Structure 1
Amino acid sequence: MLPAPEGAANQQQFQQHIKECFDCHQLGGRPTREFAPYVTGANSLEKWDTRTKYGPSGPSMFTFFQRFGDHRKAFADWTDRIAKGEAPTTAPPRPAGVQRNLVISLWDWGSPIDGRADSASADLRNPRLTANGKIFGVSQMNDALMELDPVENKARVIKPPT
């Protein structure tokens, strides 16, 4: 429902930029489909520009969103179409074949304002070294180190001495 711009170079750049959004946001979730009452603007494009200024990462989100240039209009158009009742015409296909063997385990660890895009779970040179080992992530907002133990299904916050 959110079209990529025409041309291979534009599509590649658009996809690179939009993947940055996915570190923290699920496009298509209610917060991205609808505008909160405090988001102001004369039209949806202005509201998208305003929306990206909020939150702990507002200034960098706004700057990053501006890199989309005229393609920001696609987000505004997408929001307007959803507000008018548009929905996808077909459901995504169910996994088939070997894709059905994939199992994803998700943990919500840290605090509500953390972004853990910088988590580490293995030595990239040899990922077998720490199989089933603990996963660590840095919380810049809390000056803390997050630890997740997938075997024990436990998470904790480690406050380093300052």
Structure 2
Amino acid sequence: MKKIMLVSVCITVVCILMYWGFCRVSVKFYLMPINAWERKIWMGPSPTQKEENYVVYHHFCKSERTLIDRIIAFNDRTIRPDSIRKYPDGYRRSFFKRSAVLNKDYREETDGSDIIYDHFDKRILLFEWRIVNDTVCVSLFGKQGIVPLVDMDKDALSISRLSRVIGIKPGL
């Protein structure tokens, strides 16, 4: 009986330490080498559109709110208003959880049998910017918002500010 108790305590301690380790590892983002221009089954993108797909590593034991906050912070560091202006017909960024098939080396099949859209069940978040007249139409979390292009000239209009304009409050 003592042996069973000792083994169960050891297993519990190991599980707690593993969980703690997963929680402490920082989230990493990798751009997947997907060239949307080579996609035969899609009619785009044009030179005025851009599509980027990122895979999120170390997402285990992280809450959805934590992942979203890290993605927003990552976008704040890596996107600038001039990039959004460069692609007025649409600048799109998707973030996916890493899996056995979907990792930083993922490549789409040229015949269309396996493309990134087949893995939307692993998508965490989608950002999309589109310039219409003198406004930037932003889509975050399925909500739409409009930001005047003039506001984008003030410093760098961060993703966290855009999400507040749309009415989404990032966690702290």
TM-score normalised over the length of structure 2: 0.21
TM-score (norm 1): 0.22
More strand by share: 2
